[in-house]
Structure 1
Amino acid sequence: MDWLTIATLLLFGLLFVAAEVIFIPGTTFVGFVGFVLLAVGIWFSYRDLGTPTSHFILGGAAVLTATLVYIGLRPKNLNKFALTEVHNNYVHDARRPDVQPGTAGRTISALRPAGTVLFDNDRREATTRGEFIAAGTPVRVLRIEQNRIVVEQA
C-alpha cells in the first residue's frame, strides 16, 4: 500500500472524528468510524512504511485527535450547541378558567367556528356552537366545555 492511501485513511479518520466532536456530538457512530479509519491507516503505515515513520504518524494522529477532542469539548464550544435559555411562558388552561360564563369579549379573528377572542386584554382561543362570527364582533361566554370556551354573538 502506498503512502497516498495511508494519508487518505488518516485524513478521513481525522475528518470523521472532527465531525463527531465538533459538528454532531453524541452520535458515536461517526466517531467510531473515524477511529477505525485512523487505526487502519496507522496499522498500514507500520506494515508498509517502517517503524520510525509510523511512530511519527502515530504521534501526529494522537496529538491531532486529542486537540480535536479538547477543542470540541470545551464549554465555550459546547454552549453553541446546548440549549441554555429558560422560557417561563405558560399557556392558559381552560379547564381552570378565569373566564367565567357570561363574560363579554370581542373577536379578534373570525370564528369559523373557532378563533381568537379578546377578554379584558387576554387573548383566548374560543369556539362557537357551529355558527360563523366575523372579526370585531362582541361575544359572550356561554359555557366552558372541558378545554374549550364556547361563545355566542352578544
Structure 2
Amino acid sequence: MCMDWLTIALLLFFGLAFLVVEVIFIPGTTVVGLVGFGLLAAGIWFSYRDLGTSTGHLLLAASAVFIGALVYVGLRPRNLNRMALTQENHGHVLDARHADVLPGTVGRTLSALRPAGTALFAEARREVTTRGEFVAAGSDVQVVGIEQNRIVVQQIV
C-alpha cells in the first residue's frame, strides 16, 4: 500500500500543528503533544517507506529543525511569563491570634454556647467558646482571653 505525498504532507502538517499548540498555547497538557508527535512520526515513517530514503531524510531534518525552533521559542522566559501566574495575593484571613476582639470586650451571644457558638461584638460576628459552661442565646458575654486560635468568653452575670 502506497501513500500519496498529500497524505504524508497532511500528517506532517497536523503533527507539527499539534506540537505548536502544545508548546505555545496549552503547555503541560501532554495529550495534544503526544498526538502531534504520533502524527509527525507516522508522517516521517510513511515518507521513508513511500517516497524514498532521501526524501525521508529531508523531511526528518526539516521536522527536527522546526521542532527545535519551536521549543526554543516556546521555552523562552518572555513566552513562559505569559502563561505563568505572576500576581501576588495580598489578602489575609481573619486570625483569632491577632483578634480585633480584645480581652475585656463585651458582646451578645447570637447562638447558645455549648460550649462553642457565635457572638456579636460591635457589628463583628465571631466564633467563640466558653471554658465548659453553657450560655443561652441572647446573653451578654465578656472576652476573657485568646487561647491558641479561640476567643474565650464568660457570661456576664
Q: TM-score, normalised by structure 2?
A: 0.64
Q: How does 1:89-100 map to 2 (within 5 A)?
A: 89-94=91-96, 96-100=98-102
**Residues 13, 90 of structure 1: CA spacing in aligned structure 2 closer, same or farther, 3 A cutoff?**
same
Query: How many Å separate the matches in 1 of 2:122 and 2:67?
Result: 59
Aligned-partner Cα distance in 1 for 2:28–2:45: 27
Q: Contact 1:72–1:78 (CA<8 Å) still a contact in 2?
A: yes
- Hey, what's the Cα distance between the residues in 1 that align with 2:88 and 2:149? 27
Cα distance in 1, alignment partners of residues 89 and 122 from structure 2: 24
Alpha-carbon distance in structure 1 between the residues aligned to 2:34 and 2:25: 15
Partners of 2:59 and 2:50 in 1: how far apart?
A: 12
5+ long unaligned stretches in structure 2: 107-117, 128-136, 138-142, 152-157
2:46 matched to 1:44?
A: yes
What fraction of aligned residue pairs are identical, expressed as a percent? 62
1:88 paired residue among 87, 90, 97: 90
Gaps of 5+ in 1: 105-113, 132-140, 150-154
The Cα of 1:87 is off from its aligned counterpart by 2.4
Q: Distance in 2 between matches of 1:21 and 1:118?
A: 55
Match of 1:18 in 2: 20
RMSD: 3.9
Cα drift, residue 27 of structure 1: 2.2
Residue 135 of structure 1 aligns with which residue? none
Distance in 2 of aligned mates of 1:42 and 1:85: 43
Which of the residues 1, 7, 15 maps onto 2:9?
A: 7
Structure with higher Rg: it is 2
Deviations 1:52-99 (A, max 9, x none): 222221111111111111111110000011112322332222354221
Give the equivalent residue in structure 2 for 1:137: none
Alignment-mate amino acid for residue 86 of structure 1: E
